[in-house]
Amino acid sequence: MKEDQVPQDKENLNEGKLAKLYYATDEKGHYKKVNSVGWEPETVAMQQAWDVVNNEVEEARLKVIDGKASPVLYYLKKNIMDVSMVASYVGTLGVIVRLHTIPYFFSKLSKKTLEKYAYTFRISVEEFTDIERLKQKHAG
């Protein structure tokens, strides 16, 4: 890639925080370092991966509001985790985490377990157990 071909696509997901370093060639074919603000194909692929995540989060949110799943499912999806990953953070088995995604079992959880979940999801216990909050998310 020649240095003037280094992509500078303004539409990107870098929030102005990141201009990646590229190695590109000068007119003689020798390498130099050039920064790039973004590249469309990469942005498309990244956005696509996030669309999948966001869809799953929204699905989980609706389930929780309908009383078909507990906040564990919502925050699990929101943090792009899976059952086994949450289980190793909380220090339990995947099966148990799966049970906790069911509202009945969730309502039986001890304060200590709730705290572990809340810590894993980087929120407070109040926020974690507050289903009303999830309803408002839709409006916002």
Binding site for another protein (CB under 8 A): 1, 13-15, 17-25, 29-31, 33, 35, 39-42, 44-50, 52, 79-82, 85, 88-89, 122
Q: Which is nearer to another protein, 48 or 136 (CB)?
A: 48
Q: Which is nearer to another protein, 33 or 135 (CB)?
A: 33
C-alpha dihedral, 86 to 88 to 92 to 94, nearest 10°: 60
> From CA 107, how far away is CA 129, in angstroms rounded?
9
Task: Tell me the β-bridge partners of 33.
Answer: 23
Q: How far is the CB of 47 from another protein (least distance, A)?
A: 8
SS3 of 23, please?
A: strand
Q: How far is the CB of 95 from another protein (least distance, A)?
A: 17
Q: How far is the CB of 122 from another protein (least distance, A)?
A: 8
Q: Which is nearer to another protein, 25 or 131 (CB)?
A: 25
> From CA 38, how far away is CA 44, in angstroms rounded?
11
Q: Which is nearer to another protein, 36 or 101 (CB)?
A: 36
End-to-end CA distance of the chain: 44
Q: How far is the CB of 67 from another protein (least distance, A)?
A: 28
Closest CA to 59 of 74, 49, 76: 74
